[in-house]
Amino acid sequence: MSILVTRRDQAFPVLNHAQIETAMRFASGPARVFAPGETVYKIGEQNVPAWLVLKGALDAARREGLSNEVPVTTYGPGQLTGEMNQLAGRPSLAIARAGADGCTALPFDSAHLRSLIIGSADVGELTMRSLILRRAALIEEGGSAGPVLIGIPGSAELLGLQNFLTRSSFPNLVLDATVEGEAHALVERLGVIPSELPIMVCPNGTVLKHPSEAEVAACLGITPQLDPQVLYDVAVVGAGPAGLATSVYAASEGLSVLLLDEHAYGGQAGASMRIENYLGFPTGISGQALAGRAFSQALKFGAEIAIPLQVSRLSCSPEGNGDDDIVVTLANGAAVHARTVVIASGARYRRPDVQNLAAFESSAVFYWASPVEAKLCKGEEVALLGGGNSAGQAVVFLAPWVKRLHLVVRRDMSETMSRYLIDRIAALTNVELHVRSELAALEGDAVTGLKAARFRNRGTEAMTRRELRHIFLFIGAEPNTEWLSGCVTTDGKGSSKPDGDLPMRPSRVRLCPWKPACRECSPLVTFAPAQPSASPPP
């Protein structure tokens, strides 16, 4: 049953008189009176506040498909409108009109909504839970409240946008451009040629042709406009679990925080379908759910989150605002100034040395396993390479979807995988294990797609060929530290490290996690070369 059925009272709570009195202290403006049927806010409208209904009612609706509207709920006295976009200050995913008797309501912009959530424990808990549940309900109902993607199913470009929106917990609907219907009609009416697919219809009606992730994020209000004059207390590079945790802790202490990531929040953990050895979740939790909770916490405490923005360079030399200034340069040329930079940029997926691998990436070769890829591979024969816990979790998730799964590992799994995953995989009847083997070659091309794969036994050199159209690679990762060149010393494998051959001072550039009180070199503290004009640390 849907969230709006099983948890409706939590998704749409009604504040009592005392709670309304408390909430009124945090409003961002005076109460407004709306005439019967008057539009209070529209789909795609920017900077829409949450409204606390004091009298009358507000009828909310969402979009279904490209043009239809379906009712969501009617907000009555004591109920607060909105969902996670109101907390983040992003465009609205719904439209609301005053009821038949009109409506009187109080506005709460994103800053004042955060103040309400933090300032009142009981009202804040009710409100935060309701915003999260409403976003979950929008995703659960097929995602038609968000942007509509129109393209060719299975294409690399469409899958890429689907994954970006899904990992960003943004509701989205995918329509086939080749099937008769409103999507096909829109493509013809706009004169969209195949090279311009996929297209995205934003909630405000804007149509993007063959958009990049950055263009999608800009249209949806995911990426904020950064002020180059702002000096942040903390800039965090990388929105995986470590970066999200840093943002929550720093923002909760009242520091101004900017969190940057070039893809989506959650990092590699966010792509895991089930994590069962994480403290506090005995029944397991998906990486996306875990990251989503941390993301909501960061928003709650006022962290500014800029995704997807790639960082290209770090300058440890004091610039612009004096000795407290560290400059993070973005790939688009913009600069971010901060007093402290926390490096939580994680790692990049390793790629096997196979000649034509790039031709199949994002359409037949994947580095994660989400419901998007699982549905694409339903009933097929697939291969998965890797022997770590991430690989094991992916095998357990994918096996019920596929006809047969070939698990290819370079060494015995007991050396690299948790015992509970090994036992669970052993119980799967449609998993075939290829021990001490590796990917040798791929057959097919970018036009016709992947046809088959060949695996080499590392001991006997014997080759095994399997006809399949999809491969999942979980063969580890390498530190994502290229952007630190010239500022932070790294070892031969790309990991940050102190360098005893250079004059050193404790830097405000930190490798997450870290202890502020440290004064001596330790594995958890990253150092940078001393600047000639720099003062010694206190």
Split into its structural domains, the chain has a count of: 4
Are 31 and 104 in contact by the 8 Å Cβ rule? The answer is: yes
* pLDDT, position 479: 83
- Going by C-alpha positions, the residue among 347, 343, 345 that lies closest to residue 477 is 347
pLDDT band at 493 (very low <50, low <70, confident <90, very high): low
Amino acid, single-letter form, for residue 421: L
**Does the pLDDT value for residue 131 go beyond 70?**
yes
* Predicted confidence (pLDDT) at residue 28 exceeds the cutoff of 70: yes
Write phi, then psi, for 169 (nearest 5 degrees): 55, 40
Per-residue pLDDT at 132 exceeds 60: yes
Q: Tokens for 209?
A: 């042709």
Tokens standing for residue 366: 């994947």
> Are residues 213 and 338 both part of a single domain?
no
Q: Residue 448: which pLDDT band, with cuts at 50, 70 and 90?
A: confident
Per residue in 163-207, pLDDT (tens digit) is 999 888 899 999 999 998 889 999 999 999 999 999 999 988 899
Locate the DSSP E strands across 323-448: 326-330, 335-343, 347-349, 365-366, 381-385, 404-408, 431-434, 437-445
Q: Say whether both 110 and 39 belong to one domain.
A: yes
The CATH number covering residue 310 comes to 3.50.50.60
Rounded to an integer, the average pLDDT of 413-441 is 95
CATH value at residue 171: 3.40.30.10
* C-alpha dihedral (94, 210, 195, 376), degrees to nearest 10: -70
For residues 238 and 477, the answer to whether their CB atoms sit within 8 Å is: no
Clarify whether residues 12 and 114 are in a common domain. yes
Check residue 54 and report its DSSP letter. E
CA distance 42 to 44: 6
Residue with tokens 């549940």: 133
Q: Which two tokens stand for residue 260?
A: 């940057």
Task: Please indicate, yes or no, if residue 426 is contained in any of the structural domains.
Answer: yes
Helical ranges in 403-456 per DSSP H = 419-426
Domain C-terminal end among 198, 220, 242: 220
Cα separation, 185 vs 183, whole angstroms: 5
- 538 lies in some domain: no
Instruction: Specify if 213 maps to a domain.
Output: yes
| Predicted TM-score of the model (pTM) | 0.85
- Same domain? For 88 and 163 the reply is no
> Could you give the CA distance from residue 254 to residue 382 in angstroms, rounded to a whole number?
49
- Tokens for 535, please give them: 């003062």
pLDDT for res 509: 55
Q: Is 397 helix (H, G, I), strand (E, B) or coil?
A: helix
What is the average per-residue pLDDT within 493-515? 46
Domain limits at 427?
A: 357-475
Strand partners, 469: none
Position 45 scores a pLDDT of 92
Let me know: does 491 contact 520? Beta carbons within 8 Å.
Answer: no
Whether 160 maps to a domain, the answer reads yes
Using the predicted structure, report yes or no on whether residue 312 has a pLDDT greater than 80: yes
User: Does a structural domain hold residue 310?
Assistant: yes
The pLDDT value given to residue 530:
46
